[in-house]
Structure 1
Amino acid sequence: MDHWFAQLERYGLEPTNFACWVDTRIQIDRNMSVEEGAVQIAQDLRLAHRLGFKFIRPKFGVIDRTLTPDPIWEGAVERSLDLAQQLDMMILPEIHAPTPIRHPVTEGYVNFIERTGTKNFGLMIDTGIFQDRPLDAWGGGDFEAIKKGAPEMVYGTKVPVDHLDDIIQYVPFIQAKFHRIDENLHDHQIPWDRIVPKLKALGYTGYLSSEYEGARDPWVAIEQVRRQHALVRKLEAEYEAANGGLVDA
């Protein structure tokens, strides 16, 4: 713990999202129970809190290709809300391709928030859902096999950016996925020129966390993340210049 906090101080870092799993098929002969799922979430909440994180992203086991979570998710999360409130933490499942925003999975999470009235559960959006052009490479993997096995991950889910209007009030954290930004700060798959203005117009004040998933060649990721930060800042400055620095209420 001392080493962890010393490293944060040395590099000027702020813990944000703690990625964790509720592995509902950890035993092959049966699914995890609601009670067991709650114990796993409680363990992750306590550990993330000790490390200084604000959010946990529990990835639940899924039951189909559209990433419908195992039905235990709702009971397990509901049993964890009191602890999350005590620790001032948020539980954020991820909306990830191929699941769009307007989908029963997302609607189920929103219905849960509205039913419980909780402030300790929300949504994490992975910007891969907005991918609107196909990948032209896949770092270090068998690209043809991926196209055959998971074509939606190659050609894009193409969720309209305007669908953020439906759920932005529940989103404190965005996983800013991308694959390739060229030297002219042009992203070849993710429409940042629409995403950033939309977030500004909606008054978004949460986090964006770079998630690079392009080529794995040495040093490439460092330059790609630098380009993404430059691109986002450029688009933000352009929006503010065009709108007098104001955002919609």
Structure 2
Amino acid sequence: MIKRGVSLYSYQEEFFLRTLSLEECVAHAASVGARGIEVIPEQSLPGYPNISDEQVAQWRGWMEQYGTTTSATDLFLDTKRHRDRWLTHEEQVASFRADIDLAVRLGAPVIRAIINTPPEVMRDAAPYARDHGVRLLLEVHAPFHYSHPWILEHLEVMHAEGGVGLGLMPDMGTFVERFPRVVSERAIRDGAKPELVDYIVKLYDDHGDTHALMDIVHYRGGGPVEMGLARQATHFIYRDPDELLPHMDLVGHVQAKFYEMVDDSTEYSIPYERIIPVFEKGGFTGYLSSEYEGNRHIQDAFEVDSREQVRRQHAMFASLLGETTDQLQGA
């Protein structure tokens, strides 16, 4: 059965403002039946990358206390850490190995590798991951998709490696069917011309060609806000969820991105009711890990309530996954 989890990225607003502690984030996830906790050490654990044994013990204690498990850790490959040069290939692989060591200490079976990771870094870090019992999963993040040349290069490496140390982490931002209204409404509040916002949203919702959208908005007199919205439209994509099926054996975890849960059954932009059956058909049994990203688009005018948004998404997940009342109460 597909499992439910939360990326602590979802609570970033409250965590940054110190209205939620790290433990309270874990507790809330557990309270909605999300038993897999995805953590970004760089964001959540002070002192990263030098995490103490005491911090690790505290984290593992929370996992036991709340009946949760570390479902994944997220790494960021800083390819230009030195101001005067790019990191060498060897330095990038060494960076991965350090994150692998930390994932093992935290009890995570998989690690999110960010989309900018070169295929050869994944290839050369794979044996170390495999030897330590974890799997490096490339996050397939919009505007990339499964037939994009960059992803095809990664797939070639993954298949050559055998899919043991490497795999995929689909981000549901590749299935944005409708332009997120929290994004377009923020542009209006920031002073965008309503007619240009409408043009951008309609073109996207009609699945039109967005490649020249920034040029068109410029020709129509768009300023920085309108250009920024047009650029955003080129980074949202909608692909047929069935494109996942040929790659399901490589999928180890899912970034269940969402921008706005309208109620307990509907995400405004992403058709989860058509996506989850694809994972079920493909035999996926890993975690759907909530990744709330609406906060940054409403924080200028509204109070952010990440907990309510996460709760709504998990109510939707439970319904779509056919969980019974007993299962929910026992979660």
Q: Give the structure-1-normalised TM-score.
A: 0.83
Summarize deviations over 1:143-181 as a string: whole Å, max 9, x none: 65341332234xx30111111112111101000001111
Specify the code of the residue in structure 2 equivalent to 1:8. M
The answer to whether the 8 Å contact 2:119/2:153 transfers is no
State which of 271, 293, 298 in structure 2 corresponds to 1:213: 293
Summarize deviations over 1:206-237 as a string: whole Å, max 9, x none: 11100011135546211111111111221222
Distance 1:235 1:118 in 2: 29
Distance 2:59 2:184 in 1: 30
State which of 314, 318, 325 in structure 2 corresponds to 1:233: 318
What root-mean-square deviation, in Å, do the aligned CA atoms of Structure 1 and Structure 2 show?
A: 2.3
Deviation at 1:75, TM superposition (A): 3.0
Structure 1 gaps, min length 5: 63-68, 241-249
Matched, 1:105 2:185: no
> Cα 1:30–1:219, aligned 2, differ >3 Å: closer, same or farther?
closer
The answer to whether the 8 Å contact 2:130/2:165 transfers is yes
**SS in structure 1 of the partner of residue 114 of structure 2:** strand
Matched, 1:152 2:234: yes
Q: Partner of 1:85 in structure 2? A: 130
The answer to whether the 8 Å contact 1:139/1:213 transfers is no
Q: Partner of 1:56 in structure 2? A: 111
Farther off after superposition, 180-189 or 213-222:
213-222
Q: Partner of 1:39 in structure 2? A: 94
Deviation at 1:128, TM superposition (A): 0.8
Distance 1:2 1:115 in 2: 37
The answer to whether the 8 Å contact 2:163/2:250 transfers is no
Matched, 1:187 2:267: yes
Q: Give the structure-2-normalised TM-score.
A: 0.63
State which of 156, 164, 178 in structure 1 corresponds to 2:244: 164
Structure that is richer in helix per residue = 2
The answer to whether the 8 Å contact 1:125/1:174 transfers is yes
Deviation at 1:54, TM superposition (A): 0.9
Summarize deviations over 1:74-124 as a string: whole Å, max 9, x none: 332233222212211001111001112221122111100122324110011
**SS in structure 2 of the partner of residue 17 of structure 1:** strand
The answer to whether the 8 Å contact 1:126/1:174 transfers is yes
Distance 2:122 2:103 in 1: 16
Specify the code of the residue in structure 2 equivalent to 1:83. Y
Matched, 1:197 2:270: no
State which of 43, 63, 75 in structure 2 corresponds to 1:20: 75
> Cα 1:24–1:141, aligned 2, differ >3 Å: closer, same or farther?
farther
> Cα 1:123–1:184, aligned 2, differ >3 Å: closer, same or farther?
closer
If you compute each CA radius of gyration, which structure gives the higher value, 1 or 2? Answer: 2
The answer to whether the 8 Å contact 2:184/2:229 transfers is no
The answer to whether the 8 Å contact 1:132/1:191 transfers is yes
Asked which structure has the greater RCO (Cα within 8 Å, sep 6+), the reply is 2
Matched, 1:116 2:161: yes
Structure 2 gaps, min length 5: 1-55, 193-224, 325-331
Distance 2:252 2:280 in 1: 14
Distance 1:187 1:76 in 2: 35
Deviation at 1:140, TM superposition (A): 11
Aligned residues with identical type, % of pairs? 30
Q: Partner of 1:243 in structure 2? A: none
Specify the code of the residue in structure 2 equivalent to 1:220. D
Specify the code of the residue in structure 2 equivalent to 1:79. D
The answer to whether the 8 Å contact 1:134/1:189 transfers is yes
Q: Partner of 2:196 in structure 1? A: none
